Amino acid sequence: MKTIPIVVCALSAGMSLLAQAQAPKLPWGIGPQSVIPIDVPVDIRRAVGDGLEYDDGVPIKGVTADFDGDGVHEFLLQSAPSLCGSGGCVYVLCDGATHRTLGEFFGSPLYVRAERTRGYPNVATYSHLSADSAAYTEYSFDGTSYIVTSKRTLAGPAADRMSETLSQIPIWKPTP
């Protein structure tokens, strides 16, 4: 009888992990309200935790998803609220297999696009600059890391149209 609760707990924990790890079909987005506390390997936390302004012992928020199709989930980490403002948040993507940093992004929401470059999905961010202007930045993978491939400042009706277009992309709300 003692093994039944252990098996149930293991299945329950596994289901929770699956719910967190299964990203929706591309494209999808995340924002400050859609990330959750995730377990981050110690070496990744050591490498990016200070830059994301997380104090020791405070859980890092983000999502895990397999970006490159290798069966290992990458870590898309959002900065602590102290680095988030009206323009967005800092996000860092770390490789799940090697734990190295693949890219840093700024904005909110952040969109993981269906288009791919060198095996990784393109990423875009949207940042409010003022009441009627915004920045839209696109990133692609160059084989080593994500680089900015396009940055546009939009104002007035152009910003409104971009916001409307991006609102069609679902925001992922992973469950803990």
pLDDT digits (tens, 9 = 90+) for 24-69: 899 999 998 899 999 999 999 999 988 999 998 899 999 999 999 9
- 95-119 burial, b if ≥16 CB within 10 A, otherwise e? bbeebebbbbbbbbbbbbbeeebee
pLDDT digits (tens, 9 = 90+) for 118-160: 999 999 999 989 989 999 999 999 999 999 999 999 999 999 9
CB 72 within 8 Å of CB 124: no
Amino acid at 129: L
Q: What is the pLDDT of residue 2?
A: 43
pTM for this structure?
0.86
Give yes or no for residue 7 having a pLDDT over 60: no
Query: Which tokens hold the place of 152?
Result: 């546009």
CB 170 within 8 Å of CB 24: yes
Q: What is the pLDDT of residue 117?
A: 98
Q: What is the pLDDT of residue 3?
A: 39
φ, ψ for residue 165 (rounded to 5)?
Answer: -60, -45
CA 48, 53, 59, 63 torsion-angle sign:
negative
CA 159, 161, 162, 166 torsion-angle sign:
positive
pLDDT digits (tens, 9 = 90+) for 84-103: 998 999 999 999 999 999 99
Average pLDDT of the residues in 8-33: 61
What is the rounded distance in angstroms from the CA atom of residue 153 to the CA atom of residue 122? 19
Q: How many CA atoms lie within 13 A of 111 on its CB side?
A: 21
CA 21, 176, 107, 166 torsion-angle sign:
positive
What 8-state DSSP symbol labels residue 35? -
More confident residue, 154 or 14: 154
Q: What is the pLDDT of residue 67?
A: 96
Give yes or no for residue 76 having a pLDDT over 90: yes
What is the rounded distance in angstroms from the CA atom of residue 41 to the CA atom of residue 75? 10
